[in-house]
Amino acid sequence: MSHTWDPDRYLTYADERGRPFVELIARIAAAEPSTVVDLGCGPGNLTTLLRERWPGADVRGVDSSPEMIAKAESADPSITFEVADLRTWVAGAEPVDVLVSNATLQWVPGHLDLLPDLVSRVRSGGWFAFQVPGNFDEPSHTIRRDLAAEEPYAAHTQGVAVPSSHDPAVYLEALAELGCTVDAWETTYLHVLTGPDPVFTWVSGTGARPTLQALPDDLRPAFEEEFKRRLRAAYPERHGRVVLAFRRIFVVARVSTSSTTERP
């Protein structure tokens, strides 16, 4: 079941969403890469940080959402952005020096099996780095899942896209078996949110969006109100703020000369 993205909604908490990206690329020790690709670049605001980090590189952004790419194209005219499915890009892209994927792989079913292809898109000695959420057992996700399984919503929400990821040790082992030198870790951020129903605002721009879009117009308002009510109970406001605990998983892999065979 397809869905679309709203760049402006996604950027509501741009600083909080951007912090993991900054910490991810800080661990990439590439000195002067020629080509850097942001796979799943979204609205492009973070891709511009790659240009700042490596000003001499050919920086490119790829995303499957036309809405996101339309927003990204205004971010930096020196960066090339294109609409492409991640899996299609992997199949046809030339090897690059640095491949970054931020909060994207969790939307690709079976993405663990895609890692060999992603590594093969990186030149020998290059870098492959990604970050995915690891918070899918938190109320922000379980409440949506449980509510979507109730009537009258269940008939409309079956088959919607649902993000998922693995523990850092799983990614470390998978990439080490491919000959990479791997640095993997996790961090739980405590995001301090303000405003009306801030956790709903957060999830409605990302993990909950496919579910909300799948609902017909006559059911969506009631779903949203009940979703908000349950989120308020799970994330109570104290002193005008709500704290959202958010676990993130990071992986930075250095591709060795023997870990991959570059495709022509």
> Average pLDDT in the 69-95 region?
88
Q: Which two tokens stand for residue 116?
A: 């060999």
Length of the chain: 264
The residue among 220, 222, 225 whose CA lies nearest residue 156 is 220
Instruction: Answer whether residue 201 shows pLDDT above 60.
Output: yes
- Residues 116 and 105: their CA atoms lie apart, in Å, by 14
Is 264 inside a domain boundary?
Answer: no
Q: What confidence category does residue 261 fall into, taking pLDDT thresholds of 50, 70 and 90?
A: very low
Q: What is the pLDDT of residue 164?
A: 94
Least confident of 9-13, 45-49, 236-240, 245-249: 9-13
Is 261 inside a domain boundary?
Answer: no
Residue with tokens 């969506």: 220
CATH number at residue 229: 3.40.50.150
Q: What is the pLDDT of residue 15?
A: 79
Is 21 inside a domain boundary?
Answer: yes
Q: What confidence category does residue 258 fall into, taking pLDDT thresholds of 50, 70 and 90?
A: low
Is 1 inside a domain boundary?
Answer: no
Residue 240's Cβ-count burial label (10 Å; 0-12, 13-18, 19+) is: exposed
Number of independent structural domains in the chain: 1
Angle at 13 between CA 10 and CA 19, to 5 degrees: 110
Is 263 inside a domain boundary?
Answer: no
Helix ranges restricted to H, 40-186: 47-53, 66-72, 86-92, 115-120, 139-148, 154-157, 168-176
Task: Give the percent of the chain with pLDDT over 90.
Answer: 77
Is 2 inside a domain boundary?
Answer: no
Q: What is the pLDDT of residue 206?
A: 81
The residue among 253, 252, 236 whose CA lies nearest residue 244 is 236
Residue 10's Cβ-count burial label (10 Å; 0-12, 13-18, 19+) is: buried
The Cβ of residue 41 has, within 10 Å, a number of other Cβ atoms equal to 29
Q: What is the pLDDT of residue 139?
A: 96
Render pLDDT for 34-78 as a digit per residue (tens, 0 to 9): 999 999 998 899 999 999 999 999 999 999 989 889 989 987 889
Q: What is the pLDDT of residue 8?
A: 55
- Residues 57 and 122: their CA atoms lie apart, in Å, by 15
Q: What is the pLDDT of residue 12?
A: 58
For residue 248, what is the enclosing H or E element? strand 242-254
Q: What is the pLDDT of residue 263?
A: 39
Is 149 inside a domain boundary?
Answer: yes
Q: What is the pLDDT of residue 259?
A: 44
Q: What is the pTM of this model?
A: 0.90
Instruction: Answer whether residue 260 shows pLDDT above 60.
Output: no
Is 132 inside a domain boundary?
Answer: yes
Residue type, 215: L
How do strand 96-102 and strand 35-39 relate by DSSP bridges?
A: parallel
- Residues 163 and 90: their CA atoms lie apart, in Å, by 20
- Residues 8 and 16: their CA atoms lie apart, in Å, by 15
Q: Domain residues for 102?
A: 7-254
Q: What is the pLDDT of residue 88?
A: 86
How do strand 35-39 and strand 58-63 relate by DSSP bridges?
A: parallel
